[in-house]
Structure 1
Amino acid sequence: MTAAVRDRARHAAAAALLLFLSLPGPVTASHPLDDSENAYFEQLPVVLTASRLPQSLQDAPGAITVIERPLIERSGYRDLARLLRLVPGMHVGQERANASWVSYHGLGQSIPGELQILIDGAPTYVPVSFGTAAWTGLPVFLSEIERIEVVRGASANSYGASALQGAVNLITRPAAEDPGEHVSIVLGDPGVRDVEVGWAGGSAPLALRLTAGEQADEGFRDLHDHRRTQRFSVRGDAQIDPENSFSFRLGTTRETTGRGYPDSPFGNNALRDGADSAHLVHLRWQHVDDMDKEWSVSAYHHQLDYRDSWIGGAPGIPEVPLSRDRRDLRSSIEFQRRDRWSETVRGVWGAEATLTQTRSPFSFSSTDSVRVPIYRLFSNIEWQATAPTRLNLGLALERSNDEGWRFSPRLYANHRLTPADTLRLGAGRAWRTTSPFERHSDTRVYHPANPALLLARPFIPNPDLRQTRADTMELGYIRQLRWARSTAEIRVFQERLRDMVIRQQVTPPPPAPVLAASIPTTQEQNFGEDLNVRGIELQWQAHPWKGGDLRLAWSALERHAGNDQVEAAIAPYTASLMWMQRWPQRWSSMVHLTRVGPVATGDSYLAGEPYVVRAYTSLDIALSRTVRLAGYPARLTLTALNLGPRHQEAANPAQQIGRSQPANRVSRQVYLGLDMRF
């Protein structure tokens, strides 16, 4: 970070802090409010994700962003990842219309695996190779989601080593909620064609929610990035007796997407269509003695199949088959117990056993599956030390066959200065499990006419790779403000990451590949220095006038690693401002402005210098109206994304070799949606 950028970040942070502290104080008896304002100053939402305990947002051990269903519906968005732009410090960019790059604080190097993605508390993310989760292919519909809870900060204590820097929990609606049928149709340009149908209902003791649909579009202009996503899900909730209940969730997704570029160097990322599928089964038995005592047993299985093969080559180089085909399996069983031991002490503890399996003959030069069993013990104890002060102590032990036992402690203190002001201080340690691809990848390309002739070996394994460790300290302040009927949170933090995994060029072992000079060999290695990230985040939600809602998410970071490649992967700032307004005659609107600083993201078979995407601004708008069609309630929504000049958000570095202009720029998408309920 240059001195000028650093000074701007510091000045902006100071200005935000001064503004925050200078706002009018919390509600007191000397500041009477009208009925609408009094309603606003009720207790903040109860969240579940931070500690696995139901807690008020003010008492949770960590910074949390909640995105609720009304916002999801009114935004007009078709994809989950775009909603995460509302989270402070979250970097969300699109390398193409069907591929989003999502990481917290931009720590994604070649494989961004710092966030755990959960559906109703069940992990869905198996980090293997080339990018983060397939966000458009998750087996869940936006219409099913009741709210999204995003924990901003180390969450390995609650959800394991894939939650190094946070967790995104998609909490779906109970099957019995809002019974009836619904139909949704979306049409627009370029080639947007979505249809979704759903039904919810049933009779005691079983309630069901079934949803099926398809999304399709032609992607961004001048890119081969069309997609067709078919999705089906079932949620069932059964109340066996007053103490026992059983729930299940089944989801499946099949997705075909356009990939690659027509001028890909050596055909390393040539034009083709890939076909992916995902299947999720989640079963849960819950026994409740009373509101403070319960136990549950959960089992889930997640299978992902990727079909991605093509022909590479170049003038003077023979055509060779390339592939990223793979199958990922993750199976787990978990026991959890929640209890209250006294009036002031309660807690949750449990154990989990997980087996991850990955099979990718081309990536690993083997037909065998890479198997990684993981065993975990976890707990969180909440102690109300005094009426306004709560302490949260989290402890977790996790072991995999490759890396031994790891200990993840976390300690937070939350103190309510007044009913509307809360101070939070905390520290934690988390570990990130190295992925099978990082540790075992061994990609070899042979001459098609002479199988003994090695043309290229872009990846070699590193069995000695160590887990990344993150040590985090933070100071947070939540304040409910009489002014504009708003809630603001400021978070100041410092993160130190040791043994970060980065991709480095290395000398290949013999025999030397024929094209080693043009297609260098690389290996995932531990970065030899610590990465220190310091920053400030601001989250503000307000209702400043009748029918108006404002959401601001802003962050500014300083990163120090002594290495340009590592530092370039973190955007120095991100900002998001959303304004939603209800108008007369049942009209409503949404305006969402996003700003992201310069950042290097993306990966490819070819190694090279990091390519830094310039700072960009993205503008989305939506206009909707509730109506009645044939006597049934309906909503019409017109949405426009990426308004303004075309820009690049995430890059494939190989495509930028020798280019002065971005190879992949986002383009405008405009579509009209109709949602009806019967």
Structure 2
Amino acid sequence: MLPGSPPYPRLLLLTALLGAPALADDLFIDNSDLPQVLTATRLKQSPAAVPGSMTVLDGALIRASGARDIPELLRLVPGMMVGYLAGNQPTVNYHGSNVNEARRMQVLIDGRSVYRAGLATVDWSDIPLALEDIDRIEVFRGPNTVSYGANALMAVVNILTRNPADSHGTRLKVTRGQNGIDDFYASQGFGWDNGDMRLSISGLQDDGFDHDQFGQHYRDSRRATRLNLSASHALAQDQTLDWQLAAKEGTNQRPYTYQPVFPFVTQRGKDADVKSMDYAGSVRWNIDFAAEHSLYVQGSAQHFDRQQVWRACDAALSFSPELTRLWQMNPNYAERVARGANNPPPSSNPQEQALVDAIKEQWNNQGGSDVVCGDVDQSTRETRYDLEIQDTYSLTDSLRLLSGMNYRYDRADSQTYFNGSVDDQTWRLFGQLEWRADEHWIVQGGAMFEDSRLSGSSLTPRLAINYLITPRHGLRAVYSEAVRSPDMFENNVNWSYTVKNLMPYAFGQQHGEYFVKTRGPGDLEQEHMRSRELGYNGYFSDLDLSMDLKVFFDEITGMISEPLKNNQYIASNANRARFSGSEAQFDWRPTLRDRLRLTFAHVDAWASNPADRNLSASNSGSVGWMRDWGHGWSSGAFYYGDDALNQYRYERLDLRVAKRWRVYESNLELAALWQQRLDDEPTTAVQNRYDSRHRLSLSAELEF
């Protein structure tokens, strides 16, 4: 079970530092090579020297967990809140926020952002990458606009794929299970004198949740097929060229959610499934001028395509030009008129009353009360081009400087959301300075200047002081600022529905404009965060125990929290939020065969908009035990829990058991994963329910 109160991490730290002579000896004697992480500052650093909190999910942990997608893996990160709008719509937030919109975390694949600028979200179900191609996931738990620009407001998830040189040979895997689980993976890797390449094809499919709160069948299945090609070339002794291509196509079911304005109209439309197609490519040129000086140039392009066409029914009056003009003058009054068109409430405004009289005439004598049905096209297309140059130079043995610049072009196309297209251009200049004052003290400062044509300019700083007790044990104090730019949808939406193929015609027209139209304010400012953190990171080599502890206080001002709905859209910067608390993570290998892992987070969240408190569990965490039993047998047992995510408790126990055989020149592994819910509540939202509290899946994997 989860610890009952926040003091547990402090007690564990006190015990670790004072409880055993072996630990005290190890604290000041360290001859082992230091591990390194990259995501925090873009500089390679030991965990104890990082200006913030890091979690690394390595390949062994990813495999032992049995997770099928990235959101499930992120349950292993302290403070990460994983929820679901539907089975194919996971939401991931660090410390919390609005359950419906995960808009404040940057997600990268080998440095390429998969955060959609047009609609401000990450399509977690549609990321064109198989877990089998991932080497590790580095999560920087805290604001990091300094290194990655606006939208890295609360955390950064950096997904690093396996080097093609480590992927030679053939790998085949299939997974089948309850709830329609039907996954596959196939890869082929090979090399030549100066390079290596890996081609992988994978698929993911399941049925989502079984039923909603009314016991009705729930349309939320997902299906995705992905292709990835990754290559690395040694151009010279000091130069490499890495490039990747990725593509994905799939379908996400959507239930029919349209509610007719006119109450006498029954729902007759077709479900609004989303067909997705994503394409991405990147190339990176690395140059090592000397041991103390390196540079890279990286360019990427990606395209998101979401096709969503569905059929809706409403009264013909929905397409009245007069009702449209009334909506533009007085939206609330227009809705009241529409719902009582045969006897609409009068208006004291002569212009409004003239429109009401015309609407009443249409209702009574021109077929306005007839039910018509038509096709609604809610498709979106988003395109991004990104170019970045970064230089890393060691000025002296104790002073390192990282600097760079970035240019990004974003474009979003949607007839529904933008009445055409909207584009943006962003320039960034960034730098990070690391000064090792002596063997114990490290002072780090960084800043990012960013200029967006739509959002304006911002300058975000970070200052950190690390005290290294030894190279593997460090205390840190960090102050940082971060921003999130309003996305195109929030700020520049031009939301209207053109409904085609109306049957029967509305007022003699085959195509009509729905009367509800929404315009974005166009002048939203950036959200701004100020963050303070105190922490400790340490590794006790005698025990093979690593730990990270922190306390934090974060404030967000100018927060955009309003729901993104066509008839309820009033976006503003009027909201605020505060997050404070503590986090702990421990990774211990007590024997050569065992690995124990514990994470815990206590988050005290306050927000001026209650919706921004929904995805903040006060206490959450995970416990894992991985063991190699010998003779090819291995197991992983994991507990995940939180006390209240969107007011619902969540507790789950996973057990994975695997057996590996050596067959001629091949390796064959069979594995079973049993997932057992320990609570009887919905998952995140009232409509997300399973028929059974357990789920079983089986997998077979062959490598040769």
User: Which residue of structure 1 lines up, in the alignment, with residue 687 of structure 2?
Assistant: 663
Tell me, what secondary structure is at the counterpart of 2:561?
strand
Structure 1 residue aligned with 2:140, among 143, 151, 157? 151
Q: How many residues align?
A: 629
What's the counterpart of residue 114 of structure 1?
104
Deviations 1:46-97 (A, max 9, x none): 0111111111111112111000011112222221111000111101122333
Match for residue 549 of structure 2? 490
Identical amino acids, percent of aligned pairs: 26
Asked if 2 retains the 8 angstrom alpha-carbon contact of 1:254 and 1:275, the reply is yes
- Given that 1:40 and 1:485 are in contact with CA atoms closer than 8 Å, whether structure 2 keeps it comes out as no
Q: Which of 507, 511, 525 is the equivalent residue of 2:572?
A: 525
Question: Aligned runs of 1:298-377 on 2, under 5 Å?
Answer: 298-313=298-313, 318-364=372-418, 366-367=419-420, 369-377=421-429
Equivalent residues in 2 for 1:422-433, closer than 5 Å: 422-433=474-485
Matches within 5 A, 1:31-430: 42-108=32-98, 110-129=100-119, 132-222=121-211, 223-261=218-256, 271-313=271-313, 318-364=372-418, 366-367=419-420, 369-430=421-482
Map of 1:20 onto structure 2: 13
* Contact kept in structure 2, 1:460 and 1:521, CA below 8 Å: no
Counterparts of 1:183 and 1:172 in 2: how far apart (Å)?
18
Q: Do the aligned partners of 2:98 and 2:561 also contact (CA within 8 Å) in 1?
A: no
Query: SS where residue 490 of structure 2 aligns?
Result: helix
Query: Bigger shift: 317-326 or 552-561?
Result: 317-326
Question: Over residues 505-562 of structure 1, what are the superposed CA-to-partner deviations in whole Å (9 max), with x where a residue is unaligned?
Answer: 99xxxxxxxxxxxx8432222124x322111111111123452212222111112334
| Contact preservation (8 Å) 1:101, 1:132 | no
Change (3 A) 1:288 1:226: same
Match of 2:598 in 1: 552
- Residues 360-391 of structure 1: per-residue CA shift (max 9 Å, x gap): 11122x12x11010000011111101111111
| Partners of 1:353 and 1:482 in 2: CA distance | 43
Q: State the SS of the aligned residue for 1:664.
A: coil
Partner in structure 2 of residue 597 of structure 1? 643
Q: Which amino acid aligns with 1:85?
A: R
Name the CA distance, whole Å, in 1 between partners of 2:518 and 2:656.
45
Alpha-carbon separation, structure 2, partners of 1:505 and 1:49: 32
Structure number, greater radius of gyration:
2
- What is the one-letter code of the residue matched to 2:385? S
Conserved? CA contact 2:83–2:99, under 8 Å: no
Q: CA deviation at 1:563?
A: 4.0
Q: 1:566 to 1:196 in 2, by over 3 A?
A: closer
- Deviating more after overlay: 94-103 vs 277-286: 94-103
Question: In the TM superposition, what whole-angstrom CA distance separates every residue of 1:335-374 from its partner, at most 9, and x where no partner exists?
Answer: 111101111101210000000100111122x12x110100
Contact 2:258–2:312 at 8 Å: present in 1 too? no
Counterpart in the other structure of 1:657: none
Summarize the Cα distance change of 1:415–1:619 in structure 2 as closer, same or farther, 3 Å threshold.
same
Distance 2:28 2:473 in 1: 16
Spell out, residue by residue over 1:218-252, the C-alpha distance to the aligned partner (whole angstroms, 9 max, x if none).
Answer: 23323212222111111110001112211101011
Q: CA deviation at 1:158?
A: 0.9
Q: 2:91·2:101 contact (CA, 8 Å) conserved in 1?
A: no
Residue 616 of structure 1 pairs with residue 650 of structure 2: yes
Counterpart selection for 1:460 from 519, 523, 531: 519
Measure how far apart 1:215 and its partner are.
2.0
* Residues 613-665 of structure 1 deviation map (CA, whole Å, 9 limit, x = unaligned): 412212222111111345411211111235345532333xxxxxxxxxx2222
User: What is the alpha-carbon distance in structure 2 between the residues aligned to residue 623 and residue 286 of structure 1?
Assistant: 41
Q: What amino acid maps onto 2:473 in structure 1?
A: D
Paired with 2:241 and 2:595, the residues of 1 have a C-alpha distance of 38
Q: So what's the TM-score if we normalise by structure 2?
A: 0.83
2:669 alignment counterpart: 635
Q: For residue 564 of structure 1, what is the aligned residue in structure 2?
A: 610
Between the aligned partners of 2:100 and 2:74, the Cα distance in structure 1 is 21
What residue number does 1:675 align with?
A: 701
Q: TM-score, normalised by structure 1?
A: 0.86
Q: 1:127 to 1:25 in 2, by over 3 A?
A: farther
Contact 2:581 2:602 in 1 (8 A): yes
**Separation in 1, partners of 2:548, 2:313:** 53
Q: 3-state SS of the aligned residue for 1:136? A: helix
Asked whether the equivalents of residues 26 and 421 of structure 1 are also in contact (C-alpha less than 8 Å), the reply is: no
Q: SS in structure 2 opposite 1:577?
A: strand
Q: Which stretch shows the higher mean deviation, 247-256 or 559-568?
A: 559-568
* Residue pair 2:140, 2:155 contacting (<8 A) in 1 also: yes
Deviation at 1:296, TM superposition (A): 1.1
Measure, in 2, the Cα distance between the counterparts of 1:505 and 1:150: 28
Q: Contact 1:477–1:490 (CA<8 Å) still a contact in 2?
A: yes
Quote the offset at 1:327 in angstroms. Answer: 0.3
1:320 to partner: Cα distance: 4.6
Distance 1:474 1:121 in 2: 25
Instruction: Give the superposition deviation at 1:318.
Output: 4.3
The alignment partner of 2:49 has SS state of: coil
Worse-matched range after superposition: 256-265 or 491-500:
256-265
**Relative to structure 1, is the Cα distance of residues 644 and 323 closer, same or farther in structure 2, using a 3 angstrom cutoff?**
farther
Counterpart amino acid of residue 439 in structure 2: A
Q: Distance in 1 between matches of 2:564 and 2:152?
A: 28
Q: CA RMSD, aligned part only?
A: 2.9
In 1: Cα distance, 2:47 partner to 2:269 partner: 45
Q: Distance in 2 between matches of 1:627 and 1:535?
A: 46
**Greater displacement, 256-265 / 114-123:** 256-265
Task: Measure the CA separation in 2 of the matches of 1:42 and 1:312.
Answer: 65
SS of aligned partner of 2:75: helix
Q: Structure 2 CA distance, aligned partners of 1:221 and 1:265?
A: 26
Q: Distance in 1 between matches of 2:269 and 2:482?
A: 35
The 2-side partners of 1:185 and 1:370 are apart by 42
User: Which secondary structure does the structure 2 equivalent of 1:589 belong to?
Assistant: strand
Shift of 1:117: 0.9
> Does structure 2 retain, via aligned residues, the 8 Å contact 1:25–1:482?
no
8 Å CA contact 1:41, 1:480 repeated in 2: no
Partner Cα distance (1:379, 1:439) in 2:
29
Which range moves more in the overlay, 435-444 or 380-389? 435-444
Residues 1:42 and 1:559: Cα distance change in structure 2 (over 3 Å): same
- Flag the 1:466–1:30 CA change in 2: closer, same or farther, 3 A: closer
State the one-letter code of the partner of 1:90.
M
CA distance in structure 1 between the aligned counterparts of 2:201 and 2:651, rounded to whole angstroms: 34
Aligned equivalents of 2:138, 2:23: Cα separation in 1:
35
Q: After TM superposition, give the deviation of residue 324 of structure 1 in Å.
A: 3.0
1:419 deviates by 4.4
> How far 1:109 moved relative to its partner?
5.6
Secondary structure class of the residue paired with 1:439: helix
Q: Could you tell me whether the CA contact under 8 Å between 2:91 and 2:100 is conserved in 1?
A: no
Distance 1:268 1:458 in 2: 23
2:353 match: none
1:497-516 aligned within 5 A:
497-503=556-562
User: 5+ residue gaps in structure 1?
Assistant: 1-7, 507-518, 601-612, 652-661
On the 8 A contact 1:313/1:320 being kept in 2, the answer is yes
3-state secondary structure, aligned to 1:202: strand
Which sections of structure 2, spanning at least 5 residues, go unmatched?
212-217, 262-266, 316-368
* d(CA) in 2 for partners of 1:150, 1:632: 34
Are residues 325 and 642 of structure 1, via their aligned partners in 2, closer, same or farther at CA, if it must alter by over 3 Å?
farther
